[in-house]
Copies of this chain bind each other. A is one copy, B any other.
Amino acid sequence: MGAAVLRLFHRTDPAVTFYNQGVPKSKDLEAKLATIEKQIGVFQRISRLMVRELSLADTLQSIVNLVSQFTECDSTLLYLIDSDELVLCASSNPNASQIGRVRLKLEEGLTGWVARERKMLAITAEAYKDPRFRKFSDLQEDNCESFLSVPVIARNRVIGVINVHHRSPHRHTGAEMELMTTVGEQVGCLLVLARMASSTIEEANHVELVMAHGHIARKGEE
């Protein structure tokens, strides 16, 4: 039974296994449970944001704040693609003059690499030494030690990147990496949802839509 629990910790948080050797097992479990309950809380709050009719800017601001609280990082930045650039659209360190103005080239830097490769990137320390790194902006985040970056996906396409920055070295946990992957998907959905006028939903016949899509799929499979 002990082995099973160790494996559980290994899968989602390798650091905890080492740290907790010799500590009673229930303490490990309590810590793990607290983390995973926080993770569920973030998903539930984002889900609630997705059905409310808030301004998109405010919703994205709430999401970067939730991510910052969960990861206990120094800042969370959300970039969205605008032709060949990534434009800063939300920041947990809000500075009105930077939002919409900080622009990174898609073909350069760690953030551009994540967008192009559609891969998560987790760097524990000395992120600025990564060969993919180049300093492009005046953001203090560009001097950070640790960097976790995930693509924002909408309809199976990369439309942006979310970056979690720690000024000091930080070993990202499995829970943080899992959470960020899902947040990247949820932000993508939110951006698509924001394009739909309320009237379209109110007047929509969802039953017809399901039936029509079902038939299309079946025809496609033939």
Contacts and interface: CB of A to CB of B under 8 A. Distances in A.
A192 B53 CA distance: 13
Interface in A184-218: 185-186, 188-189, 191-196, 198, 200-202, 204-211, 213-214, 216-217
Interface stretch (A14-22, A80-88, A105-113): A80-88
A95 interface: no
A129 interface: no
Contacts of A40: 36, 39-40, 43, 178
Contacts of A200: 195
Residue among A56, A80, A200, A206 with max Cβ neighbours from chain B (10 Å):
A206
A26 B33 CA distance: 11
A208 B32 CA distance: 40
Contact of A51 (B8, B24, B39, B155): B155
A50 B193 CA distance: 11
A134 interface: no
Interface in A1-54: 1, 5, 8, 24-26, 29-30, 32-33, 36-37, 39-40, 43-44, 47-48, 50-54
A57 B147 CA distance: 39
A58 interface: yes
Given A56-B209, A60-B210, A89-B206, 8 more contacts: A29-B33, A33-B33, A47-B182, A52-B156, A55-B213, A57-B214, A82-B206, A160-B206
